[in-house]
Amino acid sequence: MAARSLDALIVTALPNVLYLTNFTGSAAIVVVTADRVCFLTDFRYLTALEGSRGTPRECPGLDVVEVAGSYDRSLADLVTTLTPGRAGRVGFEAADLTVARHAWLTETLAGQGSQAGLVATEGIVESLRIRKDAYEIATLREAARRLSGVAQRVLAEVRPGVSETEFAFTVDTRIHEAGFSRTAFDTIVAGGPNSALPHARPGERILSEGDLVVLDFGGVYRSYCVDLTRTVSLGPASPRTREVYEAVRRAHAQAIAAVAPGRSRFDIDAAARQSLTESGLGEAFGHGTGHGLGIEVHENPRVAQRRPDVDPQNDAVTSGMVFTIEPGAYLAGWGGVRIEDDVLVTDDGVDVLTDVTTDLIEIRWT
């Protein structure tokens, strides 16, 4: 904030609000100044906030402002009092605030005589979130351990004869039983030709002998997200299945081997992509290699191909970053394979937080 000469920063993105204050509800705004953290919320959450007093979840030193009517009305009133009678610079999160809210705030501040100027900022809180501290790493490590346990169970349970939807519910049940507060996204169970769709929704298709089945699921543990994918063969794998699987597995290993502090996130993506290209599957890999994990299931860093039009030069990963490595190969009409683990960049390399075999599993049943 000092580098940007800001008198205050309005934080409206809820993951950033949670990061700064531990607030896990659905409505709050934070305004940070040099010496205050103002916390705006409404009656629904005030009692809950009281209840956190004296617990480890308490965020000390919050100046709580109760919102009686509209959040943005309370925000405008607060901003006016924070910079009385002078042309304060008040940052807002341009990647979260909508054009409509910005226009209303600008007009309202002017209407009530405030000289505060709204200044677009991007990524201030996110720049803190991208490197996890010891508490966050411990939480993500435990979450990954639990999710690996979920994977062991569901890999032992998947069978032909149930629908994708039914088996997705089994996965969700295991996630719940493992102590996650919720799934991190809608669980993917994609069998046979559906496995060629990277973002398939579970449907009524019955899992059948000979299917490749992509199982992609995640959980939220103490507000932190983890994410894991394995692809199994229901019954003996065909030579082509084995070939595609091993190609993805090599790409996955190459990408993990490329992770180290100081390496470019684009190079990590390139390691997976080049490996698949060498296997003749470069065209079959249409998404990025990975995404950051934390309070959001998709956050920075993005491990993807460089886009010259939008990506900055500063692309090195550093210790404390946690992200997925999830190359895949998708052949329309035939099927697909994806293998995903969660990794932590350490001071001298990489630590794979999830722990599930990447061997091709051929499910057998009687």
Per rule CB under 8 A, is residue 73 in the interface with a second copy?
yes
Q: Which is nearer to a second copy, 82 or 97 (CB)?
A: 97
Per rule CB under 8 A, is residue 70 in the interface with a second copy?
yes
Kindly write out the interface string for residues 104-133 of this chain, putting x where it contacts a second copy by CB under 8 A and - elsewhere: ----------------x-x-----------
Q: Which is nearer to a second copy, 30 or 256 (CB)?
A: 30
Q: Return the bridge partners of 303, or none.
A: 290
The residues near 66 (Cβ < 8 Å, ≥ 6 apart) are: 40, 41, 42, 43, 46
Per rule CB under 8 A, is residue 55 in the interface with a second copy?
no
Q: Check the CA dihedral 65-68-70-73 and report its sign.
A: negative
Instruction: Give the one residue of 25, 117, 320, 349 binding a second copy; rule: CB under 8 A.
Output: 25
SS (H, E, C) 226-295: EEEEEEEEECCCCHHHHHHHHHHHHHHHHHHHCCCCCCEHHHHHHHHHHHHHHCCCHHHCCCCCEEECCC
The residues near 293 (Cβ < 8 Å, ≥ 6 apart) are: 140, 224, 225, 226, 227, 299, 322, 323, 324, 342
Determine the 3-state secondary structure of 8 from DSSP: strand
Per rule CB under 8 A, is residue 4 in the interface with a second copy?
no
Whole-number minimum distance, CB 69 to a second copy, in Å?
A: 5
Question: In the range 332-361, which residues lie near a second copy by CB under 8 A?
Answer: 332
What is the bridge-based pairing of β-strands 37-42 and 62-67?
parallel
Determine the 3-state secondary structure of 295 from DSSP: coil
Kindly write out the interface string for residues 188-227 of this chain, putting x where it contacts a second copy by CB under 8 A and - elsewhere: --------xxxxxx--------------------------
Distance CA 191, CA 99 (A): 42
Q: Which range binds a second copy by CB under 8 A, 24-32, 148-156, 210-218, 346-354? A: 24-32
Q: Which is nearer to a second copy, 169 or 243 (CB)?
A: 169
Per rule CB under 8 A, is residue 307 in the interface with a second copy?
yes
Task: Give residues in contact with a second copy (CB under 8 A).
Answer: 24-26, 42-45, 47-48, 69-70, 73, 92, 94-103, 120, 122, 169, 173, 176, 182, 186, 196-201, 286-287, 307, 309-310, 330, 332
